[in-house]
A and B are shown apart, each in its own frame.
Chain A
């Protein structure tokens, strides 16, 4: 198991979380379980409890409202680096003790970093909930780092960067597209960081970031599983409740994107590319920045245009016109700042990327001009809302969904009303969303092609 299973992959992680979001609406009445409970401790820590008594297991997650988008210039990768260092022990518990305790009762743990949040979780037997809360509360302000730990771990994150980005041409393209899409927002940096800056991060950087951003007053604890809400609240008060507020923490204010005015294009040539692809990203509102109903319309639009083999892009490009071997679209709704709507397509042999792009634009033009059919609208709504029931089958998915939503500007009530918002979307709203947001001037189009030059001339 790798630590930070979903961290970084830059903004793709948000796509992942977004998938969870789509997967998860509230349960239809007939299967309604105990209601989700919400508490706020005196020191500001938020607690959400999602009861699920099918097995005596809980998923315990702590989400800090800090991520890569909060790093200062020149220190990219610091949020994620600190996430790794949080496993290096505290004054009270030496390195490895927390992991050993979790392992001793068969628990599993991991951590992850995104642009807007950093999270840590354990899945353990219900009766161990308080134990993991104690450890987690302890490392909220008790972290003890040595230079030696920091330097070794810096090598590890550099290897992680190679594994996630360097070894993967498509991930490299994604990094370039984000960097071009965001003119001013910190979302333009890779979550894992730029290598040259990662290599210079120090113990002081990490400790400074920790003191500035970690504390009960920007933490959300999500507990899903076999526990009564009042019991979880009592445990939280006895553990997290003892941690002092961190007065360094201030509301997140990041540089905002200016209105985009120019379509951008880029081509990345990589010697390892055997299958060229194209990707496009449009700057669009997230749930947090959207006007009422707009984010739900974008969810439906992404589903109709590019989710699965019944989607417009797949049907027209892959099945009917046979210019692509793959085509899809997605939308990241969970982000604190302006987010993105993505499109991906891979041409069939013999089809050039410009030809593919023209065919793709024809599909989008159709949607902008004529909207979506009633049948498409209904099918998408049914699918999105029905997937909610499936999500309730997994306590870990539920915990991730609540955590990612609550750290990106949504409330428990927003989550509860997600299916209602999906059901309320009209065909006109979907068409209008396409017209307004799928405007090339808001976009970056990236081509990934093979670099055929001999190695000496590549100057990578």
Chain B
């Protein structure tokens, strides 16, 4: 499963604002009227594009979860007059890379090509978005691959802990469905379902595009039209209701014969446009963000040696926000590990971070931003996420001030909001001395 890109954007960020803000983002409009952001970069003779359509796996029919992901897997299986083998040969001969992925809210794509093969690359993408073949033999082959992968996930503790967390947190809501589907649902998906998904989602109104590379606005506009110009103007999305995670306070154990128990824990998060978002983002970094300095890393790994890795992240979806973390620990120490995590979360909710921690976290988060803009492809995907989140073309310049503006009072308030409630915990493995529990 591809995790919501939001989680990664949380890890975003530019040291010196100089480099990143020195990067010029040009808003462009293609001849047919498609808006995009362009960053010209002449150092390497390639073009990278990132794009997304509104409408990810949340658009799957309830009994056919995995449809969006199935479509993503089918887009290099032939289009127009080109069968799958011919299509893939054309890509490889010119070293053109196309990638597709799905989150709960979006269908994502990426393209990378040498500049000299730009026309061919964007044309092949346009062909597969507008006229995918979905040949029956390819459908069955891809279905076989997906079922094989899903069977494997049935015994993968990471996958089980994660899937069961989302199922329990969002019952009766599309966010609770497995993004990649189940053995049953993927078995039911047919060619019409794939076609219907494409027709409903691949449209110009839900489209966000970023192009980075050795290309000027005129050429970029023409290429964008080759890829997206023939798509319908309007998508046809089903409405998705706003939701908050449920089953908070519950602990669910999925029995599995593995030496190490995998734990997913989480609760209600904070929406991207909530005034407390940046404070929450900073506080979450202090509690369990990446790197070797978070409280959870220090308390659970460094001081007690209970785990190898531990982190938690803010995930913001279009219709819900959660904070979700994970770790893995020896079966007979699962209770200890959960105890330490619980204490740290409670301590953060009650007292918030210290001034020192806040200063250090702000410094890190400002500085590290530039590292997320280090390749053409990563620049493209970062800017696509900024567009999706509607943060504005000047966000990179403004971000530093937004972080600086977080006060200790803001951080304490956000900590209480994020961690003051109860958590839903799922455990896959054979934890000893721990049973499922909590109130329903």
Nearest chain B CB to A297 CB, angstrom units = 20
Within 8 A of B (CB), among A141-171: 151-160, 162-163, 166-169
- Is B436 an interface residue, CB under 8 A from the partner? no
Given contacts A125-B370, A389-B45, contact A272 B141 (CB under 8 A): no
Instruction: Give a binary string over A291-305; 1 marks a CB under 8 Å from any B CB, 0 the rest.
Output: 000000000000000
Nearest-CB residue, chain B, relative to A52: B43
Contact partner, A379, options B92, B328, B364, Cβ 8 Å: B92
* Complex contact B308–A159 (CB within 8 A): yes
Residues of A with C-beta under 8 A to B374: 55, 57, 123, 394-396
* Complex contact B93–A379 (CB within 8 A): yes
Nearest chain B CB to A139 CB, angstrom units = 14
- Is B256 an interface residue, CB under 8 A from the partner? yes
* Complex contact A104–B360 (CB within 8 A): yes
Surface stretch bound by B, among A70-78, A249-257, A380-388:
A380-388
Given contacts A167-B328, A393-B44, contact A106 B95 (CB under 8 A): no
Surface stretch bound by A, among B28-36, B150-158, B196-204:
B150-158
Nearest chain B CB to A104 CB, angstrom units = 5
Surface stretch bound by A, among B237-245, B246-254, B297-305:
B297-305
- Is A413 an interface residue, CB under 8 A from the partner? no
Residues of A with C-beta under 8 A to B112: 390
Nearest-CB residue, chain A, relative to B155: A272
* Complex contact B151–A274 (CB within 8 A): yes
Residues of A with C-beta under 8 A to B94: 382, 386
Instruction: Give a binary string over B336-365; 1 marks a CB under 8 Å from any A CB, 0 the rest.
Output: 000000000000000000000000100111
Nearest-CB residue, chain A, relative to B140: A322
Residues of A with C-beta under 8 A to B311: 1
- Is B16 an interface residue, CB under 8 A from the partner? yes
Nearest chain A CB to B147 CB, angstrom units = 8
Surface stretch bound by B, among A9-17, A308-316, A419-427:
A308-316
- Is B421 an interface residue, CB under 8 A from the partner? no
Report Cα–Cα, A283/B328, bound state, in Å. Answer: 35
Instruction: Give a binary string over B296-336; 1 marks a CB under 8 Å from any A CB, 0 the rest.
Output: 00000111111111010000000000000000111000000
- Is A173 an interface residue, CB under 8 A from the partner? no
- Is A275 an interface residue, CB under 8 A from the partner? yes
* Complex contact A383–B92 (CB within 8 A): yes
* Complex contact B46–A87 (CB within 8 A): no
Residues of B with C-beta under 8 A to A87: 292
Which of A28, A87, A124 has the most chain B CB within a 10 Å cutoff? A124
Residues of B with C-beta under 8 A to A383: 92-93, 95
Contact partner, A309, options B15, B45, B76, B155, Cβ 8 Å: B76
Contact partner, B364, options A3, A57, A104, Cβ 8 Å: A104
Residues of A with C-beta under 8 A to B257: 271-272, 455
Which of B293, B303, B369 has the most chain A CB within a 10 Å cutoff? B293
* Complex contact A54–B308 (CB within 8 A): no
* Complex contact B258–A167 (CB within 8 A): yes
- Is A459 an interface residue, CB under 8 A from the partner? no
Residues of B with C-beta under 8 A to A96: 292-293, 302
* Complex contact B44–A156 (CB within 8 A): no
Nearest chain A CB to B431 CB, angstrom units = 13
Contact partner, A163, options B93, B302, B309, B377, Cβ 8 Å: B309
Report Cα–Cα, A397/B62, bound state, in Å. Answer: 42
Residues of A with C-beta under 8 A to B292: 1, 3, 87, 96, 99, 103, 109
- Is A280 an interface residue, CB under 8 A from the partner? no
* Complex contact A393–B375 (CB within 8 A): yes
Nearest chain B CB to A106 CB, angstrom units = 2
State the interface size on chain A (CB cutoff 8 A): 73
* Complex contact A55–B373 (CB within 8 A): yes
Nearest-CB residue, chain A, relative to B23: A55
* Complex contact B145–A326 (CB within 8 A): yes
* Complex contact A106–B141 (CB within 8 A): no
- Is B368 an interface residue, CB under 8 A from the partner? yes
* Complex contact B364–A389 (CB within 8 A): no
* Complex contact A163–B114 (CB within 8 A): no
* Complex contact A322–B95 (CB within 8 A): no
* Complex contact B76–A162 (CB within 8 A): no
Nearest-CB residue, chain B, relative to A322: B141
Which of B88, B92, B144, B256 has the most chain A CB within a 10 Å cutoff? B92
Nearest-CB residue, chain B, relative to A226: B19
* Complex contact A55–B370 (CB within 8 A): yes
Nearest chain A CB to B412 CB, angstrom units = 22
Residues of A with C-beta under 8 A to B367: 104-107, 125
- Is B366 an interface residue, CB under 8 A from the partner? yes
* Complex contact A100–B144 (CB within 8 A): no
- Is A349 an interface residue, CB under 8 A from the partner? yes
Within 8 A of B (CB), among A13-43: 27-28, 30-31, 33
Nearest chain A CB to B151 CB, angstrom units = 4
Contact sample, A vs B, 15 pairs, CB 8 Å cutoff: A1-B291, A55-B370, A96-B293, A106-B368, A107-B367, A108-B368, A125-B370, A156-B301, A159-B307, A162-B308, A166-B258, A274-B154, A275-B151, A310-B89, A389-B44
Residues of B within 8 A of A (CB): 13-16, 18-20, 41, 43-46, 48, 76, 84-85, 88-89, 92-95, 97, 112, 114, 141, 144-145, 147-149, 151-152, 154-158, 256-260, 262, 290-293, 301-309, 311, 328-330, 360, 363-371, 373-377
A-B CB proximity, top 3 nearest = A106-B367, A155-B305, A386-B95
Residues of A within 8 A of B (CB): 1-3, 27-28, 30-31, 33, 52, 54-57, 87, 96, 99-100, 103-109, 123-125, 151-160, 162-163, 166-169, 271-275, 308-310, 315, 318-319, 322, 325-326, 346, 348-349, 379, 382-383, 386-387, 389-390, 392-396, 455
